[in-house]
Amino acid sequence: MGKQLLKWIGRMVVFILLTVISQVGGVIYLLCLPFFKKLKASSHRIALFVVVYSICSLLVVPALAPNFGRVALPLSKTGDLRPHTWWTCWLNRHYVTPKVKTSMARVIKKFQAEFPDQQVTYLDANFPFWNGFPLLPHLSHDDGKKLDLAFIYKNKKTKSVLKGGARSLLGYGVCEIPRKGEKNQPAICKKQGRWMYNFTRKLALRGHPTSVEADAWRTGRLIGYIAKDPGFRRLFLEPHLVDRWQLRGYSKIVFHGCHAVRHDDHMHIEE
Per CB under 5 A, residues contacting Zn ion are: 138, 148, 268
Reference 261, options 213, 207, 190, 210; nearest CA is 190
Nearer to Zn ion, 108 or 267 (CB): 267
To the nearest whole angstrom, how small is the minimum distance from the Cβ of residue 201 to Zn ion?
A: 15
The answer to whether the beta carbons of residues 150 and 122 sit under 8 Å apart is: yes
Nearer to Zn ion, 148 or 176 (CB): 148
Nearer to Zn ion, 28 or 174 (CB): 174
Alpha-carbon gap, residue 130 to 222, rounded angstroms: 30
Nearer to Zn ion, 93 or 154 (CB): 93
The answer to whether the beta carbons of residues 221 and 110 sit under 8 Å apart is: no
To the nearest whole angstrom, how small is the minimum distance from the Cβ of residue 147 to Zn ion?
A: 7
Radius of gyration from C-alpha coordinates of the chain = 20
Reference 207, options 165, 145, 247, 178; nearest CA is 165
- Three-state DSSP at 213 gives strand
To the nearest whole angstrom, how small is the minimum distance from the Cβ of residue 265 to Zn ion?
A: 11
To the nearest whole angstrom, how small is the minimum distance from the Cβ of residue 52 to Zn ion?
A: 30
Element (H, E) at 113: helix 98-114
The answer to whether the beta carbons of residues 145 and 97 sit under 8 Å apart is: yes
Reference 34, options 22, 19, 49, 23; nearest CA is 49
Nearer to Zn ion, 49 or 265 (CB): 265
To the nearest whole angstrom, how small is the minimum distance from the Cβ of residue 236 to Zn ion?
A: 7
